[in-house]
Structure formats: structure tokens, C-alpha cells
Amino acid sequence: MRAKLTGARITVSARTAIRLRLWVTLRWRRASHVGSPGTGNGARRFTLRNIIYIWLSLRQTGPGRNTAMSSSETVVIHPALRGRIAWIDLPLVKVPDPAGHGTLLTAKISDETIHRLYRANRKTGLWQAWGHLAGELPPIPNISIIRGTVPKGGLSGLDLAVACFKGLNRPHRNESDGQSVITYILNPTHTIAMHSSMVCVARVAPAPSNTVLAVYMRPQDALHPPLDGISGIITGWEFIPADADAVSLPEDFSERYGEELWRR
């Protein structure tokens, strides 16, 4: 595929033009079919910016495929969204050293996971990333309304992890037993969830009973290529049932993970 950007015009090869037209047609039909919000019954704005975005998507994923977000290497974010959506722009976070030295390391929350949640409109997962991982309330309109409803320390935080495990005992990406994956266990008493409201679309709620929060991280040495200055990528977070006896730890923790690195 060849394309040349000249001033306000893009010159593309004939083959690219056909692919572009096919892709736009497909997207247009989908939009018309579902009546995309804010686009006036499927009507699309063909600004230069949007055409560049479409071209970038084509270059990386090919026409007719809905895979613009299918790997962290091929994430294409519409330029109009960059810097405009504060709530998908999470900061780097501090995580306890898996080696148990008591130091805090820097980790990044996976862009791919965040953008998947965004694309799927799963606000609860995003708000929980802010509350439990970044240690802040999500920067959304009128969030100050719920600020007073968060008990001190109620959302916990990665620095307050109570245990750390390594290995998943199941396939994960190219590993047969997910041996590189680090799991931090947190004990928040509260969490944040989506709330249908015209004022503020987040609410603080008690954490589900008898659960712990598991946060998964791929450490630096498992990343290809490794990222400078980052000790790992946080790929997921979820509430899981607590163990009946050791209530601050996950159910079946002794069989569930490869090894226990530390607990507090």
C-alpha cells in the first residue's frame, strides 16, 4: 500500500483506493445499520483527520476487519481522542517489588486492556483501574460529588498488596503455564462502579463480600520488546472469591498459582 500526503490531499495508489472505498463502505453500512450515536443516522464526517485515521487503520489491520485494537502493537487511537479523554489516559503506577525487597517499582497499565474496556464501553473496569491501581478517582465530570463517599483506604491500592504470587498454572500467551505472570492480591473494602446518572456516571460501593482483588502483571523480562523504565505491564484486575480459611487470600491459593512470593 502506498499513500502520499500532500498538503490537504492524500494521493493513494489505485489498489489502496479500492481497499479504502471498500472499508469505508463497510463501516458506513454498519454505522447506518446501528445508527451510530452522534453521527446523524450513520452520516459520517469525511474530514482530512478521519481519512488519515482510516488510512492508518487500513495500513495496520486491513479492510473490513474490526481489529484495530487486536494487539498492543497495532493500537490505533483516533487522533481526535488523544489527550481529550482523560479517563483512558491512566498514569504509571507503583507496584511492590515481587522479589519482596520492600521497594516500589514502576508499572504501566496495559493500553490494550484500557482501550478494549473503552471500546466495549465497560466503565466499571475502567473506574476500578483508576480507584484500585492508580489510587485516584476517575477524572470524569462531577466526580467530586462522590469523593466524600470513599472511606479512607477503602479502595486499597497496589502499594497495600497483601500477597504476591507467580505463575498461573495455565496457558498464557506463549507460556504453557503462565509462569512469568505476577499476581498481586489486594483487600479493598470498597470499589467503584458505573452508575447510570446524568450527573456523575460513577458510584462508590462496597466490594463484593468474601472476595479479594487480583491484579495481574507481566514483568519486564517477559515483555517483547522490553520497555525502558517500566518493571511490568498490568494486564488485568478482577474480584475473585476469598479463601474460606485465609480470608485475605484467594480461594485455593496454594494450587491456583505457581509459587507464593510473599505475603504480609
Contact (CB, 8 A) for 201 and 146: no
Q: Which residue of 24, 51, 104, 116 would you call a contact of other proteins, by CB under 8 A?
A: 116
Unique residue bearing C-alpha cell 512470593: 261
Provide, rounded to whole angstroms, the least separation between the CB of residue 178 and other proteins.
7
| Span near other proteins by CB under 8 A; candidates 3-11, 149-157, 159-167, 234-242 | 234-242
- The SS3 call for residue 20 is helix
| Contact flag: residue 45 with other proteins (CB under 8 A) | yes
Unique residue bearing C-alpha cell 504509571: 92
What are the C-alpha distances in Å from 241 to residues 19, 102, 209, 245, 251?
A: 48, 27, 8, 12, 6
| Contact flag: residue 132 with other proteins (CB under 8 A) | no
Strands 9-12 vs 93-96: parallel, antiparallel or unpaired: unpaired
| Per-residue cell: 166 | 507467580
Contact pattern from residue 10 through residue 29 relative to other proteins, giving x for each residue in contact according to CB under 8 A and a dash for the rest: --------------------
d(CA 140, CA 85): 9
Q: Which residue of 40, 64, 100, 226 would you call a contact of other proteins, by CB under 8 A?
A: 64
Q: Which residues bind other proteins (CB under 8 A)?
A: 30-31, 33-34, 36-39, 44-45, 50, 53, 64-72, 74, 78, 80-81, 84-85, 110, 112-113, 116, 118-124, 140-141, 169-174, 176, 178, 191, 193-194, 198, 201, 205, 207-209, 211, 216, 218, 233, 235-236, 238-241, 251-252, 256
